[in-house]
Structure 1
Amino acid sequence: MLTFTIKKLQPVFTETLTPPACHSASIAELPDGSLACVWYSGSFEGSKDTVLYWSKSGSEGGWEKPRVVVELPGLSTGNPVLWHDGEKLNLYFVILYGDWWSEAKVSYTSSMDNGATWSPKKLLWDEAGTMLRTPPLRLTTGEILLPIYDERAWCSLILRSEDNGQTWRKYGDATARGITIQPSLVELEDGRVLAYSRSSKGFIYVSWSYNKGLSWTASQPLPLVNNNTGIDLIRSDEGLLLVHNDTATGRHRLVVSHSTDEGNHWKLTAVLEDSEGEFSYPTMIQAQSGKIHIVYTNQRQTINHIEVVLSR
């Protein structure tokens, strides 16, 4: 039986940021074993004063004081995603060229020095309504799959690169328009790619690719409750882990589920939060140490970080 032991729960920051409403955190491990976290902060979701904040874990195990890493006066930014590709740290994010996510486009910047300096910001995908939420997946054969979604059509998609992120092509419309967004990906032991998506129908939806992301099976609901909110799915040393809000209403309960059979069956492993308010938009990684790290929104006021040890 898998034991999910919470070793540490702490906010990434305790001060009130300017602007104050925080959401949609992403976490990555750096080559030296330290952690990096990024999120957006604005007066409200979609506000023109929204910026991206960044912090790194300190030598004493806490987090450094947050600093603004992306600020575009007059334009809102959102849904940042951190990912280290083995050579550089990549920060993907969206810019709102209008009043809502339906006018968003995906941009990126990268750092060769673990976030001390960043390259000029560039547009990655010039199609309005394109959003992202979860980290890329590098397949064992080398291709990179970046999960995206179409805010206008409400459809889960991917961007696929065969040249380490230099160029991208879009794939993955899994006949779920108006139903799914925010896919999260893992590669299965048999080479298939598994995609779990947030949905508007009350359950997590699943789709598979048998050809490295070039095409996808029709999305179907799973017996996993999802109240139209973000999830994250990873492969750990102990099987697949899913962090999600398993509630029919609200975003107050946040849990981790575990699968030992490639997602065919799931068992609730840990309850991270279960009280009034909002605990949402989790992102999860397994570090080189074997520890699991999860960051998520806490009441839109701060970002929580949970450190977990897996054992049997």
Structure 2
Amino acid sequence: MSITGKVVLDLPPVKGNPRNSEGSFINLKDGRIMFVYSKFTGDRFNDDASADLAARYSDDNGETWTDDRIIATREEDQALNIMSVTLMRMANGDIGLFYVIRAGANDARTYLRRSADEGEIWSVPLLCIQPVGYYVVNNDRVVRLSDGRLLIPAAFHRNGYDSGNKNPGIRFDSRGEVIFFISDDDGKTWTEGNCKSVLPFNAYSYSGLQEPGVVELGNGMLWSFARTDMCYQYEMFSFDRGETWTTPQPSRFTSPCSPMSIKRIPETGNLLAVWNPVPNYNGSQQFRKGAWNGGRTPFVLSVSKDDGR
């Protein structure tokens, strides 16, 4: 296994900024790259801790980066935090900023803001997921299909998430159920798909299907994947542009309970998969130097030249 690449930007935790995570990139019209990510504040790094959205810019193709600029705050959204960004070029040329507003322990939903001036000024947020609930949508997960349809892959968790919950009568259900939200008018209106995907062995799983992603294949079929604690990424397929899905099944990708990403390389059309290949088998190492890492090492890349076959 060869090691490649180099670190061009490191954002370690520091006092008052305990976590920087869940970002997305977009090419600006002037040639710069914009990177927007979750910048946590205070002294907690939990998923429900305080966080804003910060932007950094590169004018040398990612080699160096500016200092951060806060572009959205949790206070203006009246939220516990805001996080999990997807940046997308919209049909009219605007930049779309999809992100999760965590309004409460049982209210985490994706919203969309637009910018007509390359990220300087943003519109008010538009709600994309109508039903109230706790929906996990990872960063850089919202996709546009070849016919223009937008898809948001979400993992629904009953009873929400509250790291400080002491009420034994309310239990966060960690077993995610995958639901897709769909827009056919470039994000102006949204509907829920006609299918909910559930792990077949849910009774024996703590994770269920979590942090789903999706990619469109060359024949128009959609391939979705989700992390599990069953030693594999589980996969499901749609033949009707995301309305319904096949029963989830283990994929070829062994994995701990960590998210995988699959993207299409623009220059070649090949698929690029990025994931952790070593599952959490009995006795596997979950800690390193006293810190939990979930067994999320090594971190590998794989390319498919035949559309994932």
Q: TM-score range by the shorter chain?
A: 0.7 to 0.9
Structure 2 residues not aligned, in runs of 5+: 159-174, 281-294
2:183 paired residue among 161, 170, 173 = 161
| Pair 1:140–1:199, CA change in 2 (3 A) | same
Does 1:194 pair with 2:223? yes
Q: 1:158, 1:24 → 2: CA distance?
A: 20
Q: 1:185, 1:32 → 2: CA distance?
A: 30
How many angstroms does 1:180 deviate by? 1.1
| Pair 1:83–1:5, CA change in 2 (3 A) | farther
In the other structure, the counterpart of 1:290 is none
TM-score by length of 2: 0.75
How many angstroms does 1:223 deviate by? 2.6
1 or 2 for the larger relative contact order (CA 8 Å, sep ≥6)? 1
1:170 paired residue among 179, 192, 200 = 192
TM-score by length of 1: 0.75
Q: Structure 1, residues 207-254: CA drift from partner, whole Å, max 9, x if none?
A: 111111111111111131221112211122152111111222412321
Q: 2:15, 2:188 → 1: CA distance?
A: 35
Does 1:44 pair with 2:45? yes
2:72 paired residue among 70, 73, 78 = 70
In the other structure, the counterpart of 2:259 is 230
| Pair 1:199–1:15, CA change in 2 (3 A) | closer
Q: Structure 1, residues 90-133: CA drift from partner, whole Å, max 9, x if none?
A: 1111122234xx53122221211121111123332232112211
How many angstroms does 1:143 deviate by? 1.4
Does the CA contact (< 8 Å) of 2:13 and 2:20 recur in 1?
no
| 1:214-293 alignment runs, 5 A limit | 214-236=243-265, 237-249=268-280, 250-264=295-309
Q: Which has the larger radius of gyration?
A: 2
Q: Report sequence identity in percent.
A: 24
Q: 1:199, 1:30 → 2: CA distance?
A: 35
In the other structure, the counterpart of 1:35 is 33
Does the CA contact (< 8 Å) of 2:12 and 2:20 recur in 1?
no
1:175 alignment partner AA:
V
2:26 alignment partner AA:
A
2:307 alignment partner AA:
E
1:137 paired residue among 105, 126, 143 = 143
In the other structure, the counterpart of 1:285 is none
How many angstroms does 1:46 deviate by? 3.0
1:27 alignment partner AA:
F
| 1:13-32 alignment runs, 5 A limit | 13=11, 16=14, 18-32=16-30
In the other structure, the counterpart of 1:270 is none
Does the CA contact (< 8 Å) of 2:12 and 2:19 recur in 1?
no
| Pair 1:256–1:190, CA change in 2 (3 A) | same
Number of equivalenced pairs: 259
| Pair 1:230–1:32, CA change in 2 (3 A) | farther
Instruction: Please state which structure has a larger fraction of its residues in strand.
Output: 1
| Pair 1:62–1:14, CA change in 2 (3 A) | farther
| Pair 1:51–1:110, CA change in 2 (3 A) | same
SS in 1 for 2:8: strand
SS in 1 for 2:278: coil
C-alpha RMSD over aligned residues = 2.5
Q: 2:176, 2:183 → 1: CA distance?
A: 23
Does the CA contact (< 8 Å) of 1:49 and 1:75 recur in 2?
yes
Q: Structure 1, residues 131-180: CA drift from partner, whole Å, max 9, x if none?
A: 21133222222211222221335022221111111111112422336521
In the other structure, the counterpart of 2:112 is 108
Does 1:203 pair with 2:232? yes
Does the CA contact (< 8 Å) of 2:31 and 2:59 recur in 1?
no
